[in-house]
């Protein structure tokens, strides 16, 4: 297996040279190039205003763009491209942007440019993006040269942290190049200026126009889906940073003299259980088995998460009890994960009419789950012991994204990390794929809707906290998904790299330097 993965890496590197990578390599010597290996590519490359999940794209975009705000290690929203905000009344906000946001085109950001961002996001193509599923603006206008006023349809207690999902781009360049052209040559105000972007890699150089230019001269970000190949690239000094590794990789990373950085991740590793009756799949009035709460609960009882955490992850990871992590606003500390109880699982399946078992199809992205294929195989084996036969068909992110965006799933399950960043609020999963009103939802549990609606407009923090914690309790009772683990991030960082910082999966490219 290791030999095959190493061969994959060498084949990929050779393909890059054949595709024009040789000229890039000559122009950007490894001595002044930060080389980053990602587990998946940005879709669609450098266009933050297109249909996509923001992950893993944000890992790439942070080198090029400035987000409106950021959320720090403690879950507090802090200024970034927006230097200050003001709540004028329950539905009106005023955002003032930095005056030194200068794009790689030489143009400077102003309120008029921000208005153009939202003009596009309110077109037919813009409204279907994931970020526009989480906010509803009644109006927006420039107040002065760097201040924009936004009016929301209803009071939105999360508007400011939600702005961490929005990026500032040069909309004149966007208009001139069109969405596809902008994807390949984006114009942002971040620390690096893109020189090329293709299906294999992004290459950029430190931006002389940025207010926070990269300290390392160049950056090269490459997609390497297989964890073993990313690890081999770090060990052979072909990569400086490798993202999304597993706990079992830590000894090898450290044995090679590099840093294995382990942080709590802003996500709950889960397997989504489809409750939505997709017309293409469930014909003749059929029902997905997961529309029955007893089946969802049975799946949760059937998987030995505690055993996986202890034996596979050596105790550095914890089973999840809810769609939030301890650092998330709204986390309910009184909840416990489902225990391993295969007898209870069989009982519930029998009560639901599946006493003779069932066959299911899971279409996951192994690269998005810590432990990858091995963990998915353990899950399938545990479910098989209670009569649930699961065929696992692994996908890369582009193929998964196509199924997700077109709502044309072939199966009943998929891997889905409930990513709470960058907002870090327990309501986030319900404003996206676990919300009944989301265009591409695959899990809608109506029993949760009243709590979801109540927290969405409650501006009193104390009252809203109580609603969120009740929502977490109800999510546990309803078995919202197969909630596996509270995520951790394991990243490998070469010994020559200093200042590596990855907060809620927002990588601070401008903070890194080479030393020694």
What residue ranges do the domains of the chain occupy?
2-39+200-258+494-514, 67-168, 264-489
Q: Selecting from 3.40.50.970, 1.10.3720.10, 3.40.1390.10, 3.10.105.10, what CATH number does the domain 264-489 have?
A: 3.10.105.10
DSSP string, 306-335: HHIIIIISTTSSEE-SSSS-TTSBT--TT-
C-alpha 238/C-alpha 246 separation (Å) is 19
Confidence at residue 282, expressed as pLDDT on a 0 to 100 scale: 45
Topology classification of domain 67-168: Dipeptide-binding Protein; domain 1 (3.90.76)
Total residue count of the chain as it appears in this document:
516
pLDDT level of residue 52 (50, 70, 90 thresholds) = low
Q: What percent of the chain has pLDDT over 70?
A: 92
Between 77 and 349, residue with greater pLDDT: 349
- Strand (E) or helix (H) holding 190: none
Please give the average per-residue pLDDT across 3-7, as a whole number: 37
Nearest to 507, CA basis, from 64, 31, 47, 193: 64
Confidence at residue 10, expressed as pLDDT on a 0 to 100 scale: 37
The string of pLDDT tens digits covering residues 304-322 is: 999 999 998 888 899 999 9
Question: What's the start-to-end Cα distance of the chain, in Å?
Answer: 34
Residue 359 exposed, middle or buried by CB count within 10 Å (0-12, 13-18, 19+): exposed
Can you identify the CATH homologous superfamily of domain 2-39+200-258+494-514?
A: Periplasmic binding protein-like II (3.40.190.10)
The string of pLDDT tens digits covering residues 346-373 is: 999 999 999 999 999 999 998 777 778 8
C-alpha 177/C-alpha 168 separation (Å) is 16
Residues 6+ apart with CB under 8 A from 475: 322, 323, 448
The string of pLDDT tens digits covering residues 254-281 is: 999 999 999 889 999 999 999 987 655 5
The string of pLDDT tens digits covering residues 398-455 is: 899 888 888 888 999 999 888 888 899 999 999 877 888 877 888 999 999 999 999 9
C-alpha 76/C-alpha 165 separation (Å) is 15
The overall average pLDDT reported for the chain is: 90
Given a cut of 50, is residue 283 above it in pLDDT?
no
Given a cut of 90, is residue 286 above it in pLDDT?
no
Confidence at residue 7, expressed as pLDDT on a 0 to 100 scale: 37
- Cβ burial 500-512 (10 Å sphere, 16+ → b, else e): bebbbbbbbbbeb
Confidence at residue 55, expressed as pLDDT on a 0 to 100 scale: 76
């Amino acid at each position: 297996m290791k030999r095959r993965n190493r061969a994959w890496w060498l084949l990929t590197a050779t393909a890059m040279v054949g595709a024009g990578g040789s000229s890039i390599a000559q122009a950007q010597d490894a001595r002044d190039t930060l080389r980053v290996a990602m587990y998946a590519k940005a879709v669609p490359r450098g266009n933050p205003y297109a249909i996509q999940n923001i992950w893993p794209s944000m890992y790439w975009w942070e080198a090029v763009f400035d987000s409106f705000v950021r959320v720090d290690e403690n879950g507090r929203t802090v200024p970034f491209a927006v230097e200050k905000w003001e709540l004028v009344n329950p539905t009106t906000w005023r955002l003032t942007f930095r005056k030194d946001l200068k794009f790689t085109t030489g143009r400077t950001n102003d309120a008029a440019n921000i208005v153009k961002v939202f003009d596009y996001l309110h077109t037919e193509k813009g409204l279907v993006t994931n970020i526009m599923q989480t906010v509803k603006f009644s109006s927006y206008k420039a107040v002065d040269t760097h201040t924009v006023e936004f009016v929301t349809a209803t009071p939105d207690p999360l508007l400011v942290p939600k702005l961490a999902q929005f990026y500032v781009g040069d909309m004149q360049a966007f208009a001139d190049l069109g969405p596809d052209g902008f994807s390949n040559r984006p114009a942002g105000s971040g620390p690096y200026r893109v020189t090329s972007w293709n299906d294999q890699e992004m290459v950029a150089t430190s931006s002389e126009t940025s207010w926070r230019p990269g300290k390392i001269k160049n950056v090269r970000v490459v997609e390497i889906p297989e964890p073993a190949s990313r690890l081999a690239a770090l060990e052979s000094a072909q990569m400086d940073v490798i993202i999304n590794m597993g706990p079992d990789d830590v000894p090898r990373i450290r044995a090679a003299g590099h840093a294995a950085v382990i942080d709590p991740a802003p996500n709950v590793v889960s397997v989504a259980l489809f409750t939505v009756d997709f017309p293409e799949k469930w014909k003749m009035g059929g029902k997905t088995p997961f529309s029955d709460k007893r089946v969802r609960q049975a799946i949760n009882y059937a998987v030995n998460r505690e055993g996986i955490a202890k034996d596979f992850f050596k105790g550095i990871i914890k089973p999840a009890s809810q769609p939030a992590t301890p650092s998330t606003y709204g986390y309910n500390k009184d909840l416990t994960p489902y225990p391993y109880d295969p007898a209870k699982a069989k009982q519930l399946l029998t009560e639901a009419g599946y006493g003779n078992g069932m066959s299911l199809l899971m279409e996951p992205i192994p690269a998005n789950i810590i432990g990858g294929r091995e963990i998915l195989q353990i899950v399938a084996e545990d479910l098989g012991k209670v009569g649930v036969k699961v065929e696992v068909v692994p996908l890369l992110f582009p193929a998964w994204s196509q199924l997700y965006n077109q709502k044309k799933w072939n199966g009943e399950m998929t891997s889905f990390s409930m990513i709470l960043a960058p907002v870090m609020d327990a309501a986030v999963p319900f404003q996206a794929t676990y919300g009944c009103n989301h265009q591409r939802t695959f899990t809608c549990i109506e029993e949760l809707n009243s709590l979801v609606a109540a927290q969405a407009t409650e501006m009193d923090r104390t009252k809203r906290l109580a609603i969120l914690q009740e929502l977490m309790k109800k999510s546990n009772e309803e078995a919202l998904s197969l909630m596996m683990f509270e995520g951790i991030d394991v990243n490998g960082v070469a010994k020559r790299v200093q200042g590596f910082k990855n907060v809620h999966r927002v990588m601070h490219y401008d903070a890194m330097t080479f030393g020694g």
